[in-house]
Chains A and B, each alone.
Chain A
Amino acid sequence: MKQEYTITVYTEDRVGILGRISTIFSRRKINIEYLNTAPSEVPGIHRFTIVIQETEEAVTKLVKQIEKQVEVLKAYAHKDDEIIWEEMGLYKVSSESITEKVKVERLLHQFGARAIAIRKDYVVFEATGHHEEIDRVIRFFEPYGLIEFVRGARVAIIKESTGFHDKVKEFEREQPTENFEITDVPEDQSVFSL
């Protein structure tokens, strides 16, 4: 059964690594729903957050293929209940309709939105939350003429993760140790490649 997985990948910061990772998905005709790539907490190491709909078996294999890339340090896959995640939406709305018709207080309180730019002709609001929460704000604005909308890719914190500083130290060792090698995936456990 297909379900949503968030794949977290730690890579060296190098030209071309995005292409190497994306071909792993495109070769198997798997669509990437969200892709975020940005520097991680460790200097020189990038963190990718990739969201796809797939079966557990397919995801397990994908994670191994990603880790096989020379410049990938580690890849993990998690189901939604194993992570804390957020998406962001930015909404540009005409100032006129906002000031006249919208109950801005309701917007701010109910959706946790905030205005981040106020101009004569438009106002930009920001909201964060899960996919449906961002969608709800779109629906709220639609009657008042939403001029432009953009959604930021998912970012996710792994509940069990202890960060990556210690893991990098393990990678820098010449010889692998027991702490840090691939283990198999017991059928009853979550997909966790460490």
Chain B
Amino acid sequence: MSTLTKPNTEGKQGTATVEKVSGSKALLEILIKEGVDTIFGYPGGAIMPVYDVLYQYQEKLNHILVRHEQCSVHAAQGYARVSGKPGIVFATSGPGATNLVTGLADAMIDSTPIVCITGQVFAQLLGTDAFQETDVINVTVPVTKWNYQVTDAEEIPAVLAKAFFIAKSGRPGPVLIDITKNAQTQLFEFGQYEKCEHIRSYRPKPFVRKEYIKDAADMINSAKKPLVIFGQGVILGNAEAEFKKFIEKAGLPAAWTILGLSALDSDHPLNVGMLGMHGNYAPNVMTNECDVLIAVGMRFDDRVTGRLDKYAKQAKVIHLDIDPSEIDKNVKADVPVWGDCKETLPLLTKLVDKKEHKEWVQRFKDLAVEENEKCINKELNPATEVLSMGEVIKLINEKTKGETVIVTDVGQHQMVACRYAKFKRSKSNITSGGLGTMGFGFPAAVGAKLGAPEREVVAVVGDGGFQMTLQELGTVMQNNIPVKILVLNNDYLGMVRQWQELFMEKRYSFTLIKSPDFVKLANSYNIDAERVSSRDQLDAGVEKMLSHKGPFLLEVKVGKENNVFPMVPQGCSVSEIRLS
């Protein structure tokens, strides 16, 4: 408590007394002042006072009733990732709050700004095992950037101001504020709301050390075979333009992590593709050949690095990151460049020489040709009768010209979509990267559509993941959210099946999964739907989905035992990537 200052109501002019408002009303007023327009939530006993006031705020705050609290966080994540604004979640105490945990964990590991408000039992009942009481603060410690329990309405303005500041600033993340029921109804003098801009114990942006910028520039200038690898930091820092200038000036080939996807145009001549386990051939192989590796806003996840002791050992590493704890965490940096890449990239660009590494970049192109012949061509233009996931994505590329927001779930379809989808705009690819949360895709797409109503949003999901959160069809129906759902159905939990095929002698242990009739299911929610099972229907099916005015579900039956290649098998080095 000692760190929270109560709003200063002294020194107000005149004798007018400040109007007393309830904690709930103050909360909603604060949300409006913070620029919130959409809330994803689900009511329940301990948050009813907030919902009661929300009834009067329906004009200003668009509340979307989800069908499960986990999906309220995923929807808020989709909203946040596409708009750059924090996603807002309301849930009740106990089961409402515990259902948030998966979403929070996903948002935490993927650095997504979320502000969750949970109701809690009356303060005097805390610790008594009251009805729907869960110790949500302790439950959510590892999956939140910050959390706080409010037991007195007077705390609400300062705590909410902190919550928004912490969620959005520095490396963003989810914040949870638990408000006891008594504080929701308690009347207090609200006064002026002041946004938080500084917390003494919290340094969102590290001090940029010029000497390291200089060291990094020198290293880049003397490099013969430089490679840039970038992640979501470029998008979170709104530094897409700065990033492009940097690589263009120094002539640096750049490869992306799946969360960095769409920060750089897919067709940019220096875009050399995707990193990691199912990434492109060239960037994986060349990671172990480059002389200087420049990591920008990425965290060297194990799915990106493969076997660490054989990862880029020959290279000098420059690491740009806003989070000091990421430097040296997985890969030792020779030059650490702490800071927001929005600030550090222009400083670096100024010092790097204008160059073209023609021969070096050409080697990426040569390897891409090899990958195309041995792998990509088969996926995008299959000679077999069965449909491939890749040809569906290719068709979407052709029809939408890279302007669509693609939201994926987790598994084979995710890797295929991320590998082959083409993007012209940033914040266009939304996926569960770090946590790999099956069931993420569809609710996240619902949120993304609300965060960018003017854009086409396609949820690309598998038959397994979709069945984890398909109850959100109800949310789509009730709010008529024109999101497109593309189910790539291979009748298997495909990624696990692929591993079983490759590494466990085809022992398909519980990966065969039956699905309902997705078309009938969508129809029962008044959502138009169609199924495509052969190539001659595909073009018309995709066209129908994209041109449909409202929500639409398209199920495409794809090859049951198709595999995603290339692949860096677990425990192998990135340069041991397999093309088949």
Contacts and interface: CB of A to CB of B under 8 A. Distances in A.
> Are the chains A and B members of one assembly?
yes
B325 A11 contact: no
B3 A14 contact: yes
Contacts of B148: 16
A12 B209 contact: no
A16 B324 contact: no
A126 interface: no
Interface string A35-78: 00000000010000000000000001100110110111100000
A174 B198 contact: yes
Interface stretch (B35-43, B139-147, B417-425): B139-147
B197 A12 contact: no
B1 A14 contact: yes
A171 interface: yes
Interface stretch (B81-89, B199-207, B566-574): B199-207
Interface of B: 1-3, 137-138, 141-142, 145-149, 166, 197-203, 205-207, 209, 323-325, 327-329, 336, 338
24 contacts: A12-B3, A14-B1, A14-B2, A16-B147, A16-B149, A20-B141, A44-B3, A61-B328, A64-B324, A64-B329, A68-B324, A68-B325, A70-B166, A70-B199, A71-B146, A71-B202, A73-B200, A171-B201, A172-B200, A176-B205, A176-B207, A181-B206, A181-B338, A184-B327
A44 B142 contact: no
Contact of A60 (B145, B146, B209, B328): B328
A72 B199 CA distance: 11
B142 A27 contact: yes
Given A12-B2, A13-B3, A176 B206 contact: yes
Contact of A44 (B2, B146, B206): B2
Contacts of A12: 2-3, 201
Contact of A70 (B2, B198, B201, B205): B201
A172 B199 CA distance: 8
A171 B198 CA distance: 10
A interface majority secondary structure: mixed
A104 interface: no
Nearest to B339: A181
A19 B139 CA distance: 11
Contacts of A68: 323-325
Contact of B146 (A67, A70, A172): A70
B95 to A, nearest CB: 22
Given A13-B3, A23-B142, A181-B209, A174 B324 contact: no
A176 B141 contact: no
Among A27, A71, A174: residue with most chain B CB under 10 A: A71
Contact of B141 (A23, A65, A181, A184): A23
A19 to B, nearest CB: 6
Contacts of A64: 324-325, 327, 329
A70 B325 contact: no
A157 interface: no
A67 B3 CA distance: 17
Interface of A: 11-16, 19-20, 23, 27, 44, 60-61, 64-65, 67-68, 70-73, 168, 171-172, 174, 176-178, 180-182, 184
Nearest to A68: B325
A102 to B, nearest CB: 46
Nearest to A27: B142
A70 B166 CA distance: 8
A181 B328 CA distance: 17
Contact of B325 (A14, A20, A65, A184): A65
Contacts of A180: 207
A16 B206 contact: no
A21 B209 CA distance: 28
B201 A73 contact: yes
Given A16-B137, A176-B205, A182-B324, 12 more contacts: A27-B142, A64-B329, A67-B325, A70-B166, A71-B146, A71-B202, A73-B200, A168-B200, A176-B203, A177-B207, A178-B209, A180-B207
A68 to B, nearest CB: 5
A171 B203 CA distance: 8
A20 B197 CA distance: 23
A72 B203 CA distance: 10
B329 A61 contact: yes
A174 B207 contact: no
A20 B138 CA distance: 9
Contacts of B142: 23, 27
A168 B201 CA distance: 9
Contacts of B166: 70
A191 B382 CA distance: 56
Nearest to A66: B325
A103 B539 CA distance: 98
B324 A67 contact: yes
A72 B201 contact: yes
Nearest to B200: A171
Contacts of A19: 138, 141
Contact of B207 (A61, A181, A184): A181
A72 B200 CA distance: 9
A145 to B, nearest CB: 40
A29 to B, nearest CB: 14
Contacts of B141: 16, 19-20, 23
